[in-house]
Amino acid sequence: METLFFWIAWGIISVWALRTFYFSFSKEKLERLRKTSVGLTASVLVLTLLPWLPPFLGGANAVSLALGGNTLAILLFVLLIISLIFFFQKEYLFLKIAAVLTVLATLALFALMVIIRPGTFTLSLYDIASIVAVLILLTLNVAVFLLWQQMQLLKKDEVVPDMRKKINAGIISAVILILGAYLIVSGGSDTNITSVDYTDEQGVVVDPGVVCFGENKFSFKLDTPYAILSDDEISMALTTDSRFVTVSANGESIEEKLAEFGMRFTKEGDIYMYEMPADGNANTEDEKTFGLSREKGRFLVSVFYTTGNEEQAKQILSTVLDSLQEGVCINE
């Protein structure tokens, strides 16, 4: 449904933009597109100051990635800054260069996102800035294509930059390129994110990622930091995101276990939902504990949560079940 809504909205915006800007030339449209490009490019640069990675991956923003020597992040900044400078000019030569650099910046950003956030992940408000930057750059690409088309419609009024402007633009671009090259050389050109140490004071590993347990290396993935409470050959218990998670490979079915403890349950698809017995202290609704369990082969995965946290618990359960494997660690 979200995908359908996106393409419907994108189609309406595209039709409006083409109808408004594409078919005829006017200096007013050209100027509006140029100013729009300035604003959108500046917006992306502002978003680079906000976190692009969640706290459990270091909470880095694009600026810190670039200063740390990430090649793609540096390339993104170089392309965006030079294109922003050129968008402030009114000469067609500079505007066309800015348009080309914008497209290249979009490709660099996509490559950067694939590397720093591979696979599927849960998006939060904390690290949404990078996704917003992608959407803005896609919109900017539409704007620069329309800007290019406007410049192609009427070349006779084209303002040709004099030699002094060309030299100044070349010097500014060269300085930015040299600075970017220096950051790559001094910070290292590795495009991967440096791993973060998430060991607490007691030495409990809380690093998100692959969780392996047992002699046969049963494994699954987590998108949030975790702390292992127990681990043996057939089961594991851990806490993650204030939720208690158990994974068992003993082959006992969930209905057998629930019947053993006399617990009532309901089912939502393949997920068993039930309320945990009160321990004598949980007297209010907010203090009640609930459980979600689902089987996958001979595995039984359960997530326990308090009132109001059902959606987060379902997300954790889905993440564990989707990535659960037997016989080898996922990252080996």
Confidence of residue 279 (pLDDT cuts 50, 70, 90): low
pLDDT(246) > 70 = yes
Mean pLDDT of the chain: 75
Angstrom distance (rounded) from CA 187 to CA 190: 8
Query: According to the per-residue pLDDT averaged within each range, which of 133-147, 207-221, 268-282 is highest?
Result: 133-147
Any domain includes 331? no
Q: In what order do the strands lie in the sheet with 299-306?
A: 226-231, 235-240, 243-248, 299-306, 289-296, 271-275, 265-268
CATH number at residue 264: 3.40.1000
Mark which of 187, 217, 250 sits at the end of a domain: 187
Q: If 0-12 CB within 10 Å is exposed, 13-18 middle and 19+ buried, where does residue 67 land?
A: middle
Angstrom distance (rounded) from CA 238 to CA 130: 30
Q: If 0-12 CB within 10 Å is exposed, 13-18 middle and 19+ buried, where does residue 130 land?
A: buried
Any domain includes 192? no
Mark which of 152, 187, 222 sits at the end of a domain: 187
Residue range(s) defining the domain that contains residue 309: 209-323
Any domain includes 203? no
Any domain includes 194? no
Angstrom distance (rounded) from CA 110 to CA 72: 10
The pLDDT assigned to 5 comes to 60
Q: Judge if 220 and 172 occupy the same domain.
A: no
Any domain includes 228? yes
Any domain includes 196? no
Q: Judge if 214 and 183 occupy the same domain.
A: no
The pLDDT assigned to 199 comes to 42
Where does 157-312 show beta strands of DSSP type E?
209-213, 218-222, 226-231, 235-240, 243-248, 265-268, 271-275, 289-296, 299-306
Structure-token match 């694009």, residue found = 62
Mark which of 187, 219, 235 sits at the end of a domain: 187
Any domain includes 193? no
- Residue 253 is encoded by which pair of tokens? 């079915």
Q: Judge if 176 and 270 occupy the same domain.
A: no
Q: Judge if 177 and 215 occupy the same domain.
A: no
- The total domain count for the chain is 2
Any domain includes 154? yes
Count of C-beta atoms within a 10 Å radius of residue 260: 9
